[in-house]
Chain A
Amino acid sequence: MDGIHDMGGMHGFGRVEPEQDEPVFHAPWEGRTLALNRAMGYTGVWTIDQTRAGIERLPPDVYLSSSYYKKWEMRLENMIVDLGLAGRDELDAGHALRPGKALKRKLTAADVPNTLSRGSFSRPAPGPARFKAGDKVRTKNIHPATHTRLPRYARGKSGVIEAVRGCHVYPDTVAIGRGENPQWLYTVVFESRELWGDAADPLLKISIEAFEPYLERA
């Protein structure tokens, strides 16, 4: 999706402003929002890529003007309503008005220490990797209206495979409910001038993590 979330290379956002002694959460609701996302993810009702797509679907003006955890909170409400897990009327009332659905599992406090680490996204490969380190590739010029992890600034660009990272769940299909569809994942390196033109910093290189369907042989 060519959305506002795809920010690489945009101008006009100003300075980066690090905050001294930044707290982990700026308000208690931020921590609760993170924990709610984590606990609902644990039930198996959605995948991480579906949640990323949920943020990307927020209207651009809302995306830009909302804090990070506010975006998470709105995404959580939207996904809960869209999946029929609760009604907007219940969120407005602040209480359940109907019984819940049966979900696969529920996170307990005892399980929490084991859920703090990420799961594996590796999957058995359906076939051999098409590329190897050192191969020249070109990213495709694709513009799907749905979730993708190929950023705009790196589409239609020539680069070099630096590493093969294994075969992983493919975000572009899993985000739209079309299955994990495992694909080989590569680190692809670009010269700065290939991405940003002749005025680019000549000592800069940029890499993305690219799934095989994003790439063709150059």
Chain B
Amino acid sequence: MTHDHDHEHGSELSEMQLRVRALETVLAEKGYIDQAALDAIVEAYETKVGPHTGARVVAKAWSDPAFRQALLADASKAVASFGLLNRVGDHLIAVENTPKRHNMIVCTLCSCYPWEVLGLPPVWYKSAPYRSRAVSDPRSVLADFGVKLPAGTDIRVWDSTAETRFIVLPMRPAGAEGWSEERLASLVTRDSMIGTGLPKNPKEVA
């Protein structure tokens, strides 16, 4: 079993389109929902909420030692003080990669993910292969992403089994000395903040 999304199957897709339309119509006619609110939610996730926010947070932590400390002490508070979001939910926790330790985030039970700073989770994050293996064999999961850590690197996997949410603070790559926060943010990939990737090499984006 690999990907579990069904966009290849045209018949199921059109069936789903009809089913969701029927559901939406009934709930609107019942007076439970306002369809303009649905439009606004979809638009927000398609255009506003995403990993660019997390990337700015990481870039600031790389540039500003006081912010890094505040982020590691209380990520909800630190991100709120940054002013990128009009509100930040509670229970956000930043975990820091070091030369000795690599962190990886998973939700084995469902799909818990730090939406506010990373947007909606990718399909693979919610898939059975990732959820089953991340806790037992994370090095082989990293291999699926083409990532090989230096020998002797400890791995810590955080299973998001409650309402706490985790974001990885990756290590700042060498070769970006003197870069602005904006430029540093361009090195920070979504996967590097989940722990299934590493930041880009500055030479790739220079």
Q: Which residues of A are at the interface with B, using a C-beta cutoff of 8 A?
A: 5-19, 22, 24-29, 31-36, 38-40, 43, 52, 55, 64-68, 70, 73, 76-77, 80, 85-86, 90-96, 99-101, 103, 106-109, 111-114, 116-122, 149-151, 153-154, 165-166, 168-169, 171, 185, 187, 189, 192, 195-196, 200-201, 203-211
Contact = CB atoms under 8 A, between A and B. Distances in A.
A185 B37 CA distance: 34
B41 A35 contact: yes
B11 interface: no
B62 interface: no
B25 interface: yes
A29 B136 CA distance: 34
28 contacts: A7-B131, A14-B2, A16-B129, A16-B144, A16-B196, A22-B123, A24-B46, A25-B45, A25-B46, A31-B45, A68-B4, A70-B6, A96-B30, A100-B30, A106-B31, A107-B33, A107-B37, A117-B86, A120-B89, A122-B90, A149-B162, A151-B108, A168-B162, A171-B162, A201-B155, A204-B155, A207-B157, A210-B162
Interface of B: 1-7, 12-13, 16-17, 19-27, 29-34, 36-42, 44-46, 48-50, 85-91, 106, 108-111, 115-116, 119-120, 122-124, 126-139, 141, 144-145, 152-165, 191, 196
A151 B36 CA distance: 39
Question: What 9 A-B pairs are tightest by C-beta distance, nearest first?
Answer: A118-B89, A100-B30, A8-B108, A209-B162, A96-B29, A94-B22, A35-B38, A35-B41, A31-B42
Contact of A109 (B16, B31, B39, B87): B39
A16 B22 CA distance: 34
Contact of B133 (A13, A108, A113): A13
B151 to A, nearest CB: 9
Contacts of B116: 116-118
A201 B142 CA distance: 14
